[in-house]
Structure 1
Amino acid sequence: MSNSVDLFTIGFTQKSAQKFFDTLIKVGVKHVIDTRLNNVSQLAGFTKKSDLEYFLQKIGNIKYSHIIELAPTKDILDEYKKNKGDWAIYEQKFLHLMGERKIENKLKPEILDGGCLLCSEAKPHNCHRRLVAEYLNLKWGNVKICHL
């Protein structure tokens, strides 16, 4: 791939709505790609699917998509979250899942350029959005990743 893709990632936990939206607007995000398995939970607060889509459009003229193929399966997630699983095992299983799903063929780099992968984790270190971004960079090359 010759052109580089500017890809952001963000988690909404520990952020106020003001900080969340201001951050997206400040860096010029054009499209938020929701990578959560469950985006309708009451715990999601202002990032509940229908609310988030509305707020992004109204506040920042930002497009919203939910791409479930970028989320872990319930089994992988539950093993890690509920059973206090090992991050290395989660990472290995999730990377294998993305390989099986061949997400690099299902997504177009143009769609992700100026896009921002969204999930709930406050920090990217132990979060699948970082794994998605790094996986795509590995497959496509030239993906510039910025964690917000």
Structure 2
Amino acid sequence: MKHDKNTLPVASIGFTGKTAHKFFDLLKEARVRTVLDVRLNNTSQLAGFAKKQDLPYFLEHLCDAKYVEVPELAPEPDMLKRYQRKEMSWENMRDAYFDLIAKRRVESNLDIALFESGCLLCSEHLPHHCHRTLALEYLNQHWNNRLSVTHLT
């Protein structure tokens, strides 16, 4: 992850559409130290190698990285369902998600140091329409663009 001395490197990744080999290699190549799980449901069998029960072991042994759940950055179930069913536009999803995490006061309640060499994890393959991108956008707005973001695809 590239960054200047005034910013902290942070990445984002989705596990869907990736083999375990590709997923863990991307994390190693980016020198990720902490995977920040921002998923709403991280125990589903559909998560395969990225299940909450297994991921800490894989990260430690394959990447020398830690696993941290950050539920404060997960969307509400209804919000996500409405977006997935196309009952809500991406712009409305963004607004609703920003309102939600503002109410949670994530910019005050989360330590920016947690994000240094961290990587936000979600299921979405690409970052373009995923709440992990919105979370980083929101935090950067409130943390004076201190996060230098790289999306691992």
Give the structure-2-normalised TM-score: 0.92
Give the structure with the larger helix fraction: 1
Letter of the structure 1 residue corresponding to residue 124 of structure 2: E
1:83 offset after TM fit, Å? 5.0
Residue identity over aligned pairs, in percent, reads 45
Counterpart residue number, 2:14: 11
1:87-143 CA-partner distances (Å, limit 9, x unpaired): 111111001111111101111111110000000011111000000111111101221
Counterpart residue number, 2:26: 23
Counterpart residue number, 1:71: 74
The answer to whether residue 123 in structure 2 is matched with residue 143 in structure 1 is no
Q: How does 1:1-148 map to 2 (within 5 A)?
A: 3-141=6-144, 142-148=146-152
Q: Distance in 1 between matches of 2:82 and 2:28?
A: 35
SS at match of 1:29: coil
Letter of the structure 1 residue corresponding to residue 38 of structure 2: T
Aligned residues: 147
Give the structure-1-normalised TM-score: 0.95
1:82 offset after TM fit, Å? 3.5
Q: Distance in 2 between matches of 1:20 and 1:124?
A: 14
SS at match of 1:46: helix
Q: Distance in 2 between matches of 1:68 and 1:9?
A: 15
SS at match of 1:50: coil
Structure 2 runs not aligned, ≥5 long: none
Q: Distance in 2 between matches of 1:82 and 1:52?
A: 29
Q: Distance in 2 between matches of 1:84 and 1:31?
A: 34
